[in-house]
Amino acid sequence: MPERWRVQPGKPVKLASIDPSSTQGAPGDEAETLATLPGFHERLDSLQERLWAAHRRSLLVVLQALDAGGKDGTIRHVFRGVNPQGTRVASFKAPVGEEAEHDFLWRVHRAAPRAGEIGIFNRSHYEDVLAARVLGLVPEKVWKARYDLINAFEQTLDHGGTTVVKIYLHISREEQRRRFQTRLDDPEKRWKFRAGDLEARRHWDEYMEAYEEVLEKTSTGLAPWYVIPANHKWYRNWVVSRILVKTLEGMDPQYPQPMEDLPATIE
């Protein structure tokens, strides 16, 4: 089932042909689909516990989306109930200080999950071929060279025992407008809105073009991209939950054997 949303390596991607309001494959309507989520939460929690106990491999979940695309909400809902001891979230803003004095992947590698952990990147190294490209932060020859560097970096992570899953939350321009307006209208959400969000919105078409190239050039067998229709939050949460459970089931973490003989009973 996750293959439905997976970007096949080397295949062209046209985001305009992917309906961000699609609910294809869902087990039913919103209520019926939401009723399946507790089962995914339990399964994800169980698999994470085994991953943490085995302490040999790790999972990195890369979340990318335009502003208001739902990254925070995905983390909040999909990872509900998961033991925070074995989960870390990292976010990457414009590099400053020591970060800016190193190559663009230096700070990212430092934030990669340790053995036993699930790491979540809320935005990631892909900003260095997205925002850097659209906003002209570096020359074209610099950001173009980064595709191969990113693929090699993710291959290094995989070689070291980290499975990489990359998720692009695909919303429509109208849905982004609606969510921005909701933020402005709600005093409890207004703090999330920034004037810079509107500036980025003016570059919508450029970002779509940049994302298409990212998806085409960096979806690999070892570190695939998934394009998730995300206008409907309930569908988004169901799809992401399904992908992560299937990924962890494929990793098949196992509880380790006791390090010494243990008594059957305690006196």
Return the pLDDT at 261. 77
Return the pLDDT at 149. 98
Domains of the chain: 2-251 (3.40.50.300)
Mean pLDDT of 4-32: 96
pTM of this prediction exceeds 0.75: yes
pLDDT digits (tens, 9 = 90+) for 79-120: 998 999 999 999 998 899 999 999 999 999 999 999 999 999
Cα Rg of the chain (Å, integer): 19
Q: What is the mean pLDDT of the chain?
A: 95
pLDDT digits (tens, 9 = 90+) for 199-244: 889 999 999 999 999 999 999 999 999 999 999 999 999 999 999 9
Return the pLDDT at 1. 62
Q: Are 38 and 143 in contact (CB under 8 A)?
A: no
